[in-house]
Amino acid sequence: MDLIASIREDAADAWLPAVYRERVRTQRTRSFDLDVPERENLAEILHTLLGIELKVGRRRFACPDLSTARYLLIFASLGCRRFAVPYDITKISAAADDLWSAWQRSLLLLGSRTSQMTDRSQKLYRARLVKAIRAEVKEIGPGEPMPSFDRETRQRKRP
């Protein structure tokens, strides 16, 4: 069995694309485009005088709050360019926590399986893991640019 497939199987519901599909895409979301290279990136959150920024390589992206920056950091680290962001800002923090836990679990499972391998092999399998996760997130898709507002908000009935 392939190493990445065994990690996917062992992670089960904690596999990052499964968390994205079941806990993010089932909500009302909007698509988000992030101009980052499609590879594993070193991303970091900066607290500046102008607010919170996400730094990926030499590029900086302004973020409205820390929870959004944490959410974007996960996808920027994986090299995902298009993905869904929960429209309800109160749900972003929980989604970021779930996705981060899934990512760390995948890395732990990979580390336990590749601990006896050479550094080069470990890096190769990590790159394959990132590529597999990125491909599945891309397959799930970012959804609509804006959510549909098909709910009735009028509280009074027309006479």
22-63 pLDDT, tens per residue? 999 999 999 999 999 999 999 999 999 999 999 999 999 999
Portion of the chain with pLDDT greater than 90, in percent:
84
C-alpha span between 122 and 58 (Å, rounded): 26
* The two three-digit tokens of residue 79, written as one number: 């090299």
State the DSSP code for 132.
H
State the DSSP code for 28.
-
SS3 158: coil
Model pTM score: 0.88
Phi then psi for 60, rounded to 5 degrees?
-125, 140
91-122 pLDDT, tens per residue? 999 999 999 999 999 999 999 999 999 999 99
State the DSSP code for 150.
-
SS3 124: helix
